[in-house]
Structure 1
């Protein structure tokens, strides 16, 4: 137990990091089984249709877990963008013409600088009915790597354009104004139903639960620093691979990189299988 500045008794929160977990097998014992495999993050999306539950992949891809909230530490986050052929923005079966793993440089058609791209300007987008909209033709997103209590690896939560402002407002209020990195606190991510005319969709909500302090903060910082270095190197290599790839195979499913969060928000059908819709884990 600890006391705050007003001498109110508070419960000390314990968050279990991967290195604190006791495993039955060492890394050396697992090396042969994992050799040559492309390990990956389990990927979670903002659901469509105004759903208030996250679908979280588990051991059985046909029977995912469902949760109203996700709690954990945002170890790292970065921009991402994708542009689909006109009329295919809401079709999950169509691969994007251009994509960016960092929201800075696009690979494909048109490719190049995202900041200078005409498709990255407001007013160039279309809605689900094909009518001009105030949005962008290129869909800006943000990928959050969230480590949950007692888990070995982070999950990857992809935020669509409609959840970017709530995320930005939350980060500014809870971290920027206090000069703290995102890994310094445990957060809770929920869902809010939004109705825009005949369009019903879900938007992410954010709440800070508590801050890390002392030794626990030092442990989280060490883990996050190492993870960020690895993921940045992975993204750099992926960007180089995409830049040098044959345009005809740029978005092949076997390339290890796919982007399926189409449109201004996600629309996920009941037949979709999330297993395999993942990003590579830095090794």
Structure 2
């Protein structure tokens, strides 16, 4: 397992990246608290792996501008960036993600439903490279969870940058505040109808995931209790489920030196993998050059 911390992604819709070091180490603590074993998995930062980023150029040669423009995830991010124009980094981000996946020849990628277009482009680029140069990359498959799409507290796509997510570092009181402000609808009786009541359904699904129950059953139990009771149930379920993870995260976050050591080791392992793949890509493309022996 390889876990990328996509620190370059911060710059897709921002001019500067503030407190980046703090956020990166916090994400490592999140991963460890969630059960990622750094001895079994490789945790690395995108910006530290030069050979990975060098793969971007040949991959960009395999994708057209209209294909990038049609990517629905990019279009959505551009819409929500609040800018009249976007950087080339944001526009080409699907190709960056393809490099993140293909550098280690990944065959399975855990994603949310909104990331499926990105993964499909990765599959396309792998296929085009194999056909144009040499059979080097597998076409990776998506690994979807039982909840491939959860809405944020504002009823739109959940995203840290949009401020509508519940962070693992958040305490119980902050979690309760965020869920109290979550969008529902005007109907008092609670039912689980994902198509017609997406905001309510997303909250029910979240509580069901945390408690191991069925969202239909939860909806029936809450029934006439309305949005207030729904949010109480969700808050209790989320805080109870996350309590041991948050305690573990606090312990990991306290050991900053340990987190940096994990990242250093992960970056080293990822660099070795990326350099091997880059050499293979160069050989396939005929761009491996060496000086002639002197006579």
**TM-score class, shorter:** under 0.3
TM-score of the superposition, structure 1-length normalised? 0.25
TM-score (norm 2): 0.24
Q: Which has the higher strand share?
A: 1
**Higher relative contact order at CA 8 Å, sep ≥6: structure 1 or structure 2?**
1
